[in-house]
Amino acid sequence: MNNGSEKTIDIVKKGLGRRYRVEKRFRLYGVLAITISLLFLALLFASIIARGHSAFRQTFVKLSVELAEAEFDLNDLGRADYQGLIKKTLREEFPQVKSRSDKKDLYSLVSSGAAFRLHNLVTDNPSLIGETVEIWVPADDDVDMYYKGYISREVPEEDRRLKDNQLAWLDRWQAEGKIVKRFNTIFFTGGDSREPELAGILSAFTGSMLTLVITLALSFPIGVAAAVYLEEFAPRNRWIDTVEVNINNLAAVPSIIFGLLGLAVFINFFGVPRSSPLVGGLVLTLMTLPIIIIASRASLQSVPPSIREAALGIGASRMQTVSHHVLPLALPGMLTGTIIGMGRALGETAPLLMIGMVAFIVDIPQGFTDPATALPVQIYLWADSPERAFVEKTSAAILVLLAFLIVMNLLAVILRNRFERRW
């Protein structure tokens, strides 16, 4: 009650201004929070792209190699001295280079991968023997860095990765149009390498892919089945409660523990091949399962009970109720959980270190039992490498990982929207 002169409406009016101010301030905080998080995200992307974009281009040098017949044994083309041919070509380009150290400087301008390129060219087209072929070979990583602007001529010679004489040779090549920057296909088609200019992401990418296939193939069905049993069929008793609590706890276990478990159980006890996508997938399955089970259960709980009653009421069995009505309605939510789980699995490094997927893998894995590594592990390995050129490779690999993640999520969102139904 008030003193009569003041009506309720006046009191309400007095408070209105303050109430609106509070609301306005609260909205402002929200907008501020979103802006800040977007800003950080933009910063992150900008820095990664700024560092990584140059890795998608690579410097190539054009060499005219004379494939003299004398050099080749026609029955065994693979045994010719391709490295020698490249060196010979380089010497002929610059006849004035005589001293041993100068020669070494000259040879180091092109990548050691040049010989492989020549080898592949000749074995694919043996008819070229006897002719002089023009071949673009990748330049050494230092040359590549120079053309990408990471090595400055201003720096005194002794502190520079390229010496004055090397720069002079490069200048001549450039004047002759023998140096070109092109799209870096090696990065997308090669495996890891000690030479940055030959290092590629494909082996890690394939490793991640194979690992995720195993993870998805195991964790989705097992997770959904576990969730359906717990939610729809399990009796409510202490035993089931314990199971539930433990599943929830598993979701919070540090992932390296799963790695240790995988090492002890899968590799040492069951003898699954070390470093293989198979064991990686198994370990990541253990890690993803609780996430998928928890999300799937939440999604099953959100299916209105009236749907279950409707189905049971016309005589559907429990199994039919679940598979015909509940599961289709819960599937979008389950897929969301699976995306989150798979996203985590894709970005996981620690458990993979424990099971040997940190190995230096040059070959692209051909199956689930081949030695492999994964994208995040590759990023970790490259980030650890001393060569300047690996800095951009690291960022580029992060970009590939992000792209992989985005494509995966996009696919799942599309899939989810197709299943999504209202009730």
Partner 1 sequence: MTASYEKYDREHRGTVGRVEVASPRMKCRNVNVYYGEKKAINDVTIDIARNEVIAMIGPSGCGKSTFLRCLNRMNDTIDTCRMEGEIFLDELNIYDKGIDVVQLRAQVGMVFQKPNPFPKSIYDNVAYGPKIHGLAGTRVELDEIVEESLKKAGLWDEVKDSLDQPGTSLSGGQQQRLCIARTIAVSPEVILMDEPCSALDPIATAKIEDLIDELREHYTIAIVTHSMQQAARVSQRTAYFHLGDLIEVGDTKHIFTNPSHRLTEDYITGRFG
Q: Tell me which residues touch partner 1 (CB under 8 A).
A: 235-236, 304, 306-317, 320, 324-325, 329, 421-423
Instruction: Report d(CA 354, CA 126) in Å as an integer.
Output: 46
Instruction: Report d(CA 226, CA 215) in Å as an integer.
Output: 16
The 8-class DSSP code of residue 177 comes to T
- Check: CB of residue 391 under 8 Å from CB of residue 224: no
Q: What are the CA-CA distances from residue 322 to residues 20, 236, 289 (Å)?
A: 48, 18, 21
Q: In what order do the strands lie in the sheet with 132-138?
A: 132-138, 57-66, 179-183
Hey, what are 365's tokens?
């894995």
Please state the closest distance from residue 351 (CB atom) to partner 1, in A: 38
Closer to partner 1 by CB, 307 or 383: give it. 307
Please state the closest distance from residue 330 (CB atom) to partner 1, in A: 12
- Residue 180 amino acid letter: V
Torsion of CA 257, 263, 264, 266, to 10 degrees: 120
- Check: CB of residue 284 under 8 Å from CB of residue 262: no
- Residue 256 amino acid letter: I
Closer to partner 1 by CB, 153 or 324: give it. 324
Closer to partner 1 by CB, 129 or 316: give it. 316
Please state the closest distance from residue 225 (CB atom) to partner 1, in A: 21
Closer to partner 1 by CB, 47 or 320: give it. 320
Closer to partner 1 by CB, 27 or 324: give it. 324
Decide the pairing of beta strands 132-138 and 57-66: antiparallel
Please state the closest distance from residue 309 (CB atom) to partner 1, in A: 6
Question: Among 93, 197, 187, which Cα is nearest to 148's?
Answer: 197
Closer to partner 1 by CB, 131 or 309: give it. 309
Please state the closest distance from residue 191 (CB atom) to partner 1, in A: 49
Please state the closest distance from residue 231 (CB atom) to partner 1, in A: 13
